[in-house]
Amino acid sequence: MNMHSTEQGRLLTTLARQAIASEFEEPQTELPHPDWLNQPGAVFVTLTQEDQLRGCIGSLEAHRSLFDDVQSNARAAAFKDPRFPPLKQQELAGIQVEVSLLSPAMPIRFSNEADALAQLRPGIDGVILQHGWHRATFLPQVWEQLPEARDFISHLKRKAGLATDFWADDLQLSRYQVEKFKEAT
């Protein structure tokens, strides 16, 4: 992407906010549509209200244009996150929008849990944990609440529906990084 990342981030967060506002039939301003928005991209859209999570939905792999991924995940974070009731129109002004652009995930090779934990890079890596049909991810931002690798992975196992002390030789871990953009306040 050859745009300055601040401008790029402003466009991505504005696009996300407009996708949510359009559900309330609020008037929209015409946004630029540079070519890089048509490239495949994977994003998570995180909504916060008074510094508390209010919705977070995203894609782990690029399977549609960045433009479509931002819009779809913004609407899903606002209206379809099962942890929260759908966003109400009067809440929209108090919501902070953050868009995290994901790098492709890379598998982590490890011999046991201690080896896996030693390879994690707190504050840098987003992690995908998968075992059978159990799958969950934490964005790198989650390290702010869970700075210890063991706690981070234990909570990720629970999010995936596994016991916090679960371990199996065929458990899979992958890592990715994000470029995150928050709305200017």
User: Virtual CA dihedral for 69, 81, 94, 36, nearest 10 degrees?
Assistant: -10
Show the tokens assigned to 48. 């916060």
Among 81, 102, 123, the domain-final residue is: 102
The CATH number that applies at residue 24 is 3.30.700.20
Look over the chain and give the mean of its residue pLDDT values, rounded to a whole number: 94
Residue pair 155/104 in contact (Cβ under 8 Å)? The answer is no
Average pLDDT over residues 80-98: 96
Judged against a pLDDT cut of 90, whether residue 107 lies above it is answered with yes
Q: Which of 102, 129, 155 finishes a domain? A: 102
What is the pLDDT, as a whole number, of residue 183? 92
Q: Which of these, 97, 130, 84, lies nearest to 20 by C-alpha position? A: 97
Q: How many domains does the chain have?
A: 2
Position 183 in a domain? no
pLDDT tens, residue by residue, 14-33: 999 999 999 998 778 889 99
One domain for residues 37 and 96: yes
Residue 79 lies in domain? 5-102
Q: Which of 102, 124, 147 is the last residue of a domain?
A: 102
Whole-model pTM above 0.95?
no
Examine the domain organization and report whether 85 and 21 are in the same domain: yes
> Residue 3 pLDDT more than 60?
no
One domain for residues 82 and 110: no
Instruction: List strands edge to edge, sheet with 95-102.
Output: 52-58, 43-49, 95-102, 178-182
- Within-domain flag for 182: no
Q: Does 184 reside within a domain?
A: no
Give the Cα separation of 151 and 2 in Å (integer).
Answer: 38
Is residue 126 included in any domain, yes or no? yes
What pLDDT score does 2 carry? 43
CB-CB contact of 127 with 107 (8 Å): no
Q: Which pLDDT tens digit goes with each residue over 108-167?
A: 999 999 999 999 999 999 999 999 999 999 999 999 999 999 999 999 999 999 999 999
**Residue 118 domain-assigned (yes or no):** yes
Supply 74's token pair: 């913004």
| CATH code of the domain in which 145 resides | 3.30.1490.150
17 with 90, same domain: the answer is: yes
Tell me the average pLDDT across 166-174.
Answer: 96
Residue 96 and residue 113 in one domain: no
